[in-house]
Structure 1
């Protein structure tokens, strides 16, 4: 009979180069675990440095500094065993490791065996995979310690590690070798990025791992918008015999969380999995909160058009305030973002703080409708955001007249459609940037993924901004989410937004411009991009699959597919210049984090010609 022990896992919200802050959060997590009488604590992968340190991992000084932080951490581990992630350099190679400290003494380093190289991950650039069963000695503070494929004992509990990607490698994963070594417990310290629906995959992985390896399986993930793009959800789970015994609520605004459990205690404490719509708002709210405080900005500025994209972002900021106060309390929330507490006489604290943090502006032209103006105004008032409005016709006219004088002719909608549309969007950018600069605020860009696919956005216009919160989310999802948010989030200010058909409102009103008339139905774009971009299928494959799945006449479907591929290849340069965006869905089109594509190419000419011949 194994001795019953209490273990714990912790999540921490870290930031690259915030050495003192990172160390403080780890130490506070250790102290909380000790207060809960935990005997072993597992912290996430690369918790000392943060996972998003990028090419800092390649330097000589950065891994050395991480070891110095480890040295400071060791005395805090009196009376507890702690596993904590950090990079270790051996000559020219850097390894992703977990240091194991037992009762304030370093026992050794476990090295990650498999690197994540898909999607947002680029680990082979920084780290060298460790070979199974190999152990070396490294020098640390005048003594030698083992590093490599190690297991450890605590009392009569034999335990080992799979580090994040190690667990996702099927039949070759280290867990099988740990099982052969008869471990009782496997820890998985992770830096697993958030994506809507991903927690279901993790749940299945942890449950199956605990069953296959006949052991306890404990998972600990990083938390928060660590370095700008990836968001970590802070998931903590414990599995045994194919069951999940414990799972926490995700995406906390706290700097750290600790969850402890007695082994042999079969009482289940499993937080429910949230629907995709709720996950989206949770992750976006935390992402905005962390981006705001870590960039040391004073708030947000948003060009609020009254349409779906900018309205979504306004609601996300409002939800950031509401959820931050609920999670942290008013005092700590205000302290973390360096904002004064509301005056005592304020009744609606949330709306007051939204007004302090979010400034919006409706920038109309003669092509703008009263419907979108009322939509923007009503929404801003409903959430408490500052709302300005002005016309930009004079500025547009000034630019247009200068060009007409230079080229010696008038611009017309028949001949210069794109030019006349783009100048309106670009003219909005300088003045909204002025407002952001005045407020020392982040300018929120309103591009979505569907627009990124086909370049349906004006460079240096609606793409302009410090951060693009929804650039990784498709427009079809956004439209569905807005209807959900109006009811489920109790956001009545969305009623007018949800009554409008998406339109850029850049052509004269009598031309009845709509996005889907310019492009194709957003629902069709989603299906094409899943095959073309996520699954990397050819135009022909895309057509052959979709003709059986979509109720669209084949000739029209071909035209949609040709249009998508042509616009995709023509607009890579725009995607290269989009503002940083959060990774929120299973894939995105950001060339810096997901899908690289040549800026110059033949544009699928032969492939599309073959489609015509079918």
Structure 2
């Protein structure tokens, strides 16, 4: 019985960090050798990083990738490695996996189906390879097989489906690999993180092992590689419909290696079980994304305008949890080294000491701010160990207001100037908090969520200001329930005051009792309309007919909510175009640079909303 120890290596790469990327790869190879792994697969585009964007369009970038591939040859004396990189044949660029063995390149396999949905724009850079076609590549004077190739090691035949290839149903290359009696199929991927996606991948891998009559081995990239997309570093193996290997996801380490003993004749293999929790997945993803964004931007920490409300409090908690998880996995010294931080940390309280150095918060109260939110912000910051400041913005608001009143020759009033008087409070908070971020060489964290992005319920150059917007890709209803979960399941008791408050912007006079949902609509309703309008791309009339059956809302009120959503959505595209970069966390988002493109100027769904009004109630 022929046994081959195969392995997957996930790596946390960065575009243009040639030496760092190569070091992760070679360290992973040495780790694999120490585990006795004979055949090792790396993820898609592991040499360059998947998020290289228009660098792929240049001539020199793919050429340098081949030079990096050549530098890997000495590491393959006693191991076979499969690794992803861009390769240009003539004027056409392909997304490829190269197989290296005994200091030679055995061949290069090209991707046949390109991802073009959601966050993916692969057709901008790459071309699809034709099934069954084989040509040659000039690799520094040596002619190498290139195209739709299968390989052999110790009598075991193996081939590849590169990421999107596997998701094409009856068209997928795996069926042709099955016809060629391939025993082992690798899927090197750069599959972005989304809550719930790991469970779908497990289904793909286990079902593929049956449908393709082969052991199926999946390897994904790791980390916040280039800013927005997060990769969870998943490594999976399945045979006969049983999941046999799964690693811990979203690791803070630069690479992970997992091995698996493969045999064509092995029977009665024991399946493993995995658990999926949306809140845990969200937490792990944001924590790693914040860590990578901080260290890759060479920042020394984060600054946050902490209002005491749900959004800013969730972000503060996530930064503290980032430290907690990184500390637990790497240890204090390795955490600080990997984060490029050189802080003196008190030995008696190292965890809170790191949080204090990394996270600086400030409560910026106006005349309309309450003692409740101040107490909430202070209590949370102290419980987390964050640095906390408290100052008033009344003088700045008054100064701007008086200048405008003098210029236009009248006093501003809440009856006539509501939006202007609200927005100036949010805007004057931005310069001073930016100043603090500059002084600390830190990243300013913006606090908008997806529900606010939908309807423009955010002040441009105010609460939208920031270097990164960690929760802009998730809805407010999710954030509110996550805060309850974090208090109970993660033990953040400092969230008690936050969880007792009703969400409010606190921009109008207190006697008006302003709340977010009064300004907009109930957050659960926004979530349902958003799901149908943005994710499923349905028109207003269809949304009404669906939600009329699902929600306990009067038809008249439901129509008003749908009207308001589409009116505000189309009016505020310009705001979404200017939001700080955000992490992709859900199965969709409203970031026009990564998922949802919409015209800045439009007719605002006038005819579609008229059609809605004609439906009998």
Q: Could you say which TM-score interval applies, normalised by the shorter chain?
A: over 0.9
Residue 155 (structure 1) shift: 1.3
Residue 272 (structure 1) shift: 2.6
Residue equivalent to 2:147: 148
Task: Find the residue that maps to 1:51 and give its secondary structure.
Answer: coil
Contact conserved, 1:331 with 1:341, CA < 8 A, in 2?
no
Residue equivalent to 2:313: 311
- CA–CA distance in structure 2, aligned partners of residues 47 and 238 of structure 1: 19
Would you say 1:327 and 2:329 are equivalent positions? yes
Residue equivalent to 1:517: 518
Residue equivalent to 2:240: 241
- CA–CA distance in structure 1, aligned partners of residues 274 and 330 of structure 2: 21
Residue 342 (structure 1) shift: 4.2
Residue equivalent to 1:41: 40
Q: Structure 1-normalised TM-score? A: 0.99
Contact conserved, 1:360 with 1:387, CA < 8 A, in 2?
yes
Contact conserved, 2:220 with 2:235, CA < 8 A, in 1?
yes
Task: Find the residue that maps to 2:322 and give its secondary structure.
Answer: helix
Residue equivalent to 2:495: 494
- CA–CA distance in structure 1, aligned partners of residues 271 and 257 of structure 2: 14
- CA–CA distance in structure 2, aligned partners of residues 7 and 271 of structure 1: 21
Residue 164 (structure 1) shift: 0.2
Kindly report which structure 2 residues correspond to 1:569-588, keeping only aligned pairs within 5 A, or say none: 569-588=570-589
- CA–CA distance in structure 1, aligned partners of residues 271 and 69 of structure 2: 32
Task: Find the residue that maps to 1:414 and give its secondary structure.
Answer: coil
Contact conserved, 1:246 with 1:268, CA < 8 A, in 2?
no
- CA–CA distance in structure 1, aligned partners of residues 24 and 347 of structure 2: 33
Kindly report which structure 2 residues correspond to 1:131-170, keeping only aligned pairs within 5 A, or say none: 131-170=130-169
Residue 15 (structure 1) shift: 0.2
Contact conserved, 2:229 with 2:583, CA < 8 A, in 1?
yes
Residue equivalent to 2:214: 215
- CA–CA distance in structure 2, aligned partners of residues 160 and 133 of structure 1: 13
Residue 5 (structure 1) shift: 1.0
* Residue-by-residue CA offset, 1:422-442 (whole Å, 9 max, x unaligned): 000000000000000000100
Task: Find the residue that maps to 2:249 and give its secondary structure.
Answer: coil
Residue 451 (structure 1) shift: 0.2
Contact conserved, 1:247 with 1:269, CA < 8 A, in 2?
no
- CA–CA distance in structure 2, aligned partners of residues 403 and 342 of structure 1: 48
Contact conserved, 1:199 with 1:273, CA < 8 A, in 2?
no
Task: Find the residue that maps to 2:402 and give its secondary structure.
Answer: helix
Contact conserved, 1:47 with 1:84, CA < 8 A, in 2?
yes
Residue 559 (structure 1) shift: 0.4
Task: Find the residue that maps to 1:478 and give its secondary structure.
Answer: helix
Contact conserved, 2:242 with 2:270, CA < 8 A, in 1?
no
Residue equivalent to 1:456: 457
Task: Find the residue that maps to 2:570 and give its secondary structure.
Answer: helix
Residue equivalent to 2:66: 67
Would you say 1:296 and 2:298 are equivalent positions? yes
Task: Find the residue that maps to 2:3 and give its secondary structure.
Answer: coil
Task: Find the residue that maps to 1:272 and give its secondary structure.
Answer: coil
User: Which runs of 5 or more structure 2 residues have no equivalent in the other structure?
Assistant: none
Residue 346 (structure 1) shift: 3.0
- CA–CA distance in structure 1, aligned partners of residues 413 and 271 of structure 2: 66
Contact conserved, 1:248 with 1:270, CA < 8 A, in 2?
no
Kindly report which structure 2 residues correspond to 1:548-587, keeping only aligned pairs within 5 A, or say none: 548-587=549-588
Kindly report which structure 2 residues correspond to 1:266-415, keeping only aligned pairs within 5 A, or say none: 268=270, 270=272, 272-340=274-342, 342-343=344-345, 346-415=347-416
Residue equivalent to 2:256: 257
Residue 269 (structure 1) shift: 7.2
Q: Provide the aligned length of Structure 1 versus Structure 2.
A: 612
Task: Find the residue that maps to 1:507 and give its secondary structure.
Answer: coil
- CA–CA distance in structure 1, aligned partners of residues 47 and 186 of structure 2: 17
Contact conserved, 1:5 with 1:39, CA < 8 A, in 2?
yes
Residue 613 (structure 1) shift: 1.6
